[in-house]
Amino acid sequence: MKGSAKMKLWGGRFSKSTDTMVDDFNSSINFDQRLYKQDIMGSIAHANMLGKQDIIPVEDAKTIVSSLKDILKDIEAGQVAFDVEAEDIHMNIEKILINRIGDIGKKLHTGRSRNDQVALDMKMYVKEEILKIDEYIKALQEALLYLAENNTSTIMPGYTHLQRAQPITFAHHMLAYFEMLIRDRDRLKDTYGRTNSLPLGAGALATTTYPLDRSMVAKELDFNSVTLNSLDSVSDRDFCLELLSNLSILMMHLSRFSEEIILWCSHEFAFIELDDAYSTGSSIMPQKKNPDIAELVRGKTGRVYGDLISLLATMKSLPLAYNKDMQEDKEVTFDAIDTIKMCLPIFTQMIKTAKVNDINMYKAASCGFTNATDAADYLVKKGVAFRDAHTIIGKLVLYCINNNLSLETLSLEEYKEISNVFDEDIYVAISLEECVNKRNVIGGPAKETVLNAINIYKDYLLK
């Protein structure tokens, strides 16, 4: 037999070598080489099991394991060059192994397929990355908690429809994002649990005739169970889809936060000022200080969405079991993870170093009738039905608008012209501090309530 078909570890059935373009098109080593550690650790566990089960001689298993450990060290030392003709990380590692220890290395692939091997590698990789991402999210939560602790009395306007609505505190606003991140971490934890089932042993699609001890491999690789259906084991990429979905939601939260930061940095708001180290300038306008980090995070959100949609589209019509289309799972998963791991640390530092302009926040809360609801509640507590109180305050607001006044600057006589129920204590009731701190229902912005929430969140971060 002539040609390079003999060089392929799967080339026995072929009489003709693959075209060079096919090698390039079919190869995934340019991107899946990052799975080298997972692939080698999976192979070590598999070899140990083969030896223990007497599927291959114990001494051969030991030789394979020893050589795999050496290969891992050499890769991490930058002493290994991968070969595109070997297609993927699995075949590259196996080819290197065979080159080093000869025919003994050919025994490693006994009882497994690249189909269950790649499913294993991806699950191991996803598990590891979930734990890393969780630490990044936790660091952002710590930064938010720091800001909240230092701004429990910093009053700002809360918004609906991007219109000033009711006064809250900057601490309360920061803790809203803390809550979102709790859910993000919970989702990742759930995905980790569903990823934590060993697929190795499923073979190409129908397991094997060898007496594999899958539980032994699962224990060595820190999986808490083994998969129970071989067809699903090799064709499942739900764990990648779940991860990409989780990361898309996380990026959506960061994007919403970024949008507010961008607004708050503008001269129209001037609620915060980003540190110079996390801002950029203009090539033409010398006065500019741009929130480019927040804008890039907002922009990269669409990129992660695209990774999710891409994999969903790839998987939507694939028959069981494995199909080469599934090779497309890696680049999008890697890209989404890389994007998240790029965004979270810099976003955290940007937030942590931002300067809060409490004076401008207070001024903004003082305008826009953010205390109108409290004025209505004042009347209700005096015995006025809420709908009537709503109408009365609405008339007062209109009067203020027409006369360039605010509820605070109205005289008591002007109040009484609308309703005799008003008395001197109306001015206390509509003060911003009173408006905020009277909202001491669990989940509210009152300083006491926020401090209690902060203590709960501190305990959460210790878990």
Tens digit of each residue's pLDDT (9 = 90 or more) over 33-44: 999 999 999 999
DSSP code per residue over 211-242:
---HHHHHHHTT-SEE-S-HHHHHH--HHHHH
**Least confident stretch, 65-74, 97-106, 284-293:** 284-293
Residue 142 predicted with pLDDT over 80: yes
Q: Which of 161, 267, 283, 317 is catalytic?
A: 161
* 310 catalytically annotated: no
Supply the DSSP symbol for 324.
G
* 282 catalytically annotated: yes
Mean pLDDT, residues 43-56: 98
CATH of 4-110, one of 1.20.1270.30, 1.10.275.10, 1.10.600.10, 3.30.70.1340: 1.10.275.10
Contacts of 68-71 with CB under 8 Å at 24 or more apart are 68/40, 68/43, 68/44, 68/93, 68/97, 69/40, 69/44, 70/100, 71/40, 71/96, 71/97, 71/100
Residue 396 predicted with pLDDT over 60: yes
What residues does each domain of the chain span?
A: 4-110, 115-152+166-363, 366-462
**Least confident stretch, 2-11, 18-27, 47-56, 300-309:** 2-11
What number does CATH give the domain 366-462? 1.10.40.30
Q: Which of 99, 82, 80 is nearest to 90 (CA)?
A: 82
Residue 414 predicted with pLDDT over 70: yes
Q: Which of 15, 66, 266, 282 is catalytic?
A: 282
So what's the architecture of 115-152+166-363 in CATH? Up-down Bundle (1.20)
Number of helices (H) and strands (E), helices first, in the chain? 19, 6
CB count within 10 Å of CB 16 equals 11
Residue 3 predicted with pLDDT over 50: no
pTM score, whole prediction = 0.93
C-alpha distances (whole Å) from 206 to each of 111, 229, 237 are: 11, 9, 18
Mean pLDDT, residues 348-377: 96
Residue 243 predicted with pLDDT over 80: yes
Residue 26 predicted with pLDDT over 90: no
Tell me the C-alpha distance between 410 and 426, whole Å. 10
